[in-house]
Structure 1
């Protein structure tokens, strides 16, 4: 016995005063309505309805039960309508995890434009370069940069992330321009903590700083402290200005990817689908920072 169906049947009987009319109202049979009422009274162990050949009337217990039953159905329907609205109207709080440097440099305009299109979606953006646990930490979407690996998560490709090995002109004038991996024995490396790309090329270089923030490493490289390997969304402007020079291009790893990761393919909340569709075409195959 479906409890909600039974309660709806009881409310219909109370309103119509007839099993037949209640059945017509609910598009079912009088026999099923009668069965529901018998099961309901048996479960509650009390008579809710007085039945005659002409009329079905509520008992005192039935009238008390009707008031509570109607309130329950109203609240249940309101809850379902509210949840349903989340799939028909883009709204709610969208919780996003994103890499620190990428978000600082390239997500401000994106989020402003997104919210201008979807003003009923609020954004909770948390910046972290580590791989967050989307489910455990309650994120709707996590932006990640790297090589796509096997995962239970769903990944949407957003844009290519090019890498460059670079150093300042001053550094190269003082220390020489390395041409091969062997030349790096005489050089200083500025290492990124969370780098997934192969850094074995720098195994013989002297590491003077390891940091989990690419902006700081690029600043050190501009100041002449050493050689950095960073994505162009961080070092691109310095390369364009001439503050940094791209070197060892034959040893530069292949492009990484920017991905939007989310937990489930089915029943994706509308707020998440709207964000995935928006960011999916925002940067393009040739991002502006390149």
Structure 2
């Protein structure tokens, strides 16, 4: 008996709820599926399924075995797809959703370099700061920033994202440099409309309190506009360094209250968990994983100019 075939038959029966449906899925006869499961139970020395004339129920042992068997089969299929992919070039259209500011600043060269390596892949890059429904809207991959809620999607961490409170030297010379959070009450806050309500840290709590008090005087759903306004001396801003790195590295903006800098959030590549991940998707994820460096090049540029 082939253990993998028997394992696959058992998993199919549990997923489909019957031997006949599992047989259709596997393109086998119900008798052969039943034989596979019986031989598997005999080999393991325990009953995995309780069979009646009307239904099939999973035993406690069967439930435990199912979880591990499904993971093993997914790993085998995943490895098979990778090895098969090594023998072929990725091709087709790769649909990607990405945040607006990040894509504008950091994805043009990425996609160009990727297509130089894989010229048969067409990229459809859609920019949107809302969280798209990957499956419903037909995306292969979505890039997301922030803490992710648990879901059936697979999320691969790509890069840390620092978030820095900063203002222009001219603004600070005119209004003073705050040394405590309370002193920010005397300053003009340039508010990002989509501030992460789940992010933790004193600075987030303080700014959320200001938001609820309606004390901000300028709002925007775009970080580039807020950073440009801060450079022009409009007030202080809390923004990721992938947006503000140029201004920070050239001294157009300077960090304030660095002791309250929140823990970095992260950039993730999110995709649907598929039994056989398309080769074009796997190649893009692998290409993206090390592309921005560690630390990301925008943070390395800030550090280089500060030393």
Counterpart in 2 of 1:218?
227
Q: Secondary structure at the match of 2:263?
A: coil
Deviation at 1:245, TM superposition (A): 0.7
User: Under a length normalisation based on structure 1, what TM-score does the superposition of the two structures give?
Assistant: 0.68
**1:284 deviation in Å?**
2.1
Q: State how far apart, in whole Å, the 1-side matches of 2:195 and 2:111 are.
A: 26
CA–CA distance in 2 between the matches of 1:136 and 1:232?
A: 32
Moved more, 141-150 or 107-116: 141-150
| Aligned-partner Cα distance in 2 for 1:218–1:95 | 29
2:275 aligned partner: 266
Alignment match of 1:251 (pick from 245, 249, 260)? 260
Distance 1:147 1:266 in 2: 26
State yes or no: 1:234 paired with 2:248.
no
Give ranges in structure 2 of 5+ residues lacking alignment.
1-83, 300-307
Q: Which residue of 1 aligns with 2:51?
A: none
How far 1:195 sits from its partner (Å)? 2.1
1:281 and 1:266 map into 2 onto residues whose CA distance is 24
Q: How does 1:122-161 map to 2 (within 5 A)?
A: 122-161=122-161
Q: Any conservation in 2 of the 1:134–1:262 contact (CA below 8 Å)? A: yes
Task: Note the alpha carbon deviations across 1:114-173, whole angstroms, 9 max, x for none.
Answer: 001111100000001111111111100000111233122100111111111000111111
Paired with 1:103 and 1:192, the residues of 2 have a C-alpha distance of: 18
Q: Contact between 2:167 and 2:235, CA under 8 Å: does it hold in 1?
A: yes
> Is the contact between residue 181 and residue 201 of structure 1 (CA under 8 Å) also seen in structure 2?
yes
Matched, 1:110 2:110: yes
**What is the rounded CA distance, in whole Å, between the counterparts of 1:251 and 1:201 in structure 2?**
11
CA distance in 1, matches of 2:227, 2:143: 22
Q: Does 1:285 align with 2:290?
A: no
Shift of 1:285: 2.0
Query: Secondary structure at 2:149's aligned position in 1?
Result: coil
Q: Please state if 1:201 is matched with 2:206.
A: yes
The answer (yes or no) to whether the contact 1:101–1:214 under 8 Å persists in 2 is yes
Distance 1:263 1:289 in 2: 29
TM-score by length of 2: 0.64
Superimposed CA distance per residue, residues 203-234 of structure 1 (whole angstroms, 9 cap, x where no aligned partner): 34831222111100000100111110111111
Cα distance between partner residues in 2 of 1:129 and 1:204: 23
Give the 3-state SS of the residue equivalent to 1:289 in structure 2. Answer: helix
Q: Tell me the distance in 2 between the aligned counterparts of 1:283 and 1:195.
A: 24
Q: SS of 1:165's equivalent?
A: strand
CA distance in 2 between counterparts of 1:89 and 1:241 reads: 42
- Greater Cα shift, 95-104 or 181-190: 181-190
Instruction: After TM superposition, give the deviation of residue 265 of structure 1 in Å.
Output: 4.4
Distance 1:209 1:138 in 2: 36
* Partner SS, residue 298 of structure 2: coil
Q: CA deviation at 1:191?
A: 1.2
Q: Which runs of 5+ in 1 are unaligned?
A: 1-83
C-alpha displacement of 1:89? 3.2
Measured after TM superposition, the shift of residue 250 of structure 1 is 1.5
**Is the CA contact 1:130–1:194 (under 8 Å) kept in the aligned structure 2?**
no
- Aligned Cα RMSD in Å? 1.9
**3-state DSSP of counterpart to 1:207:** coil
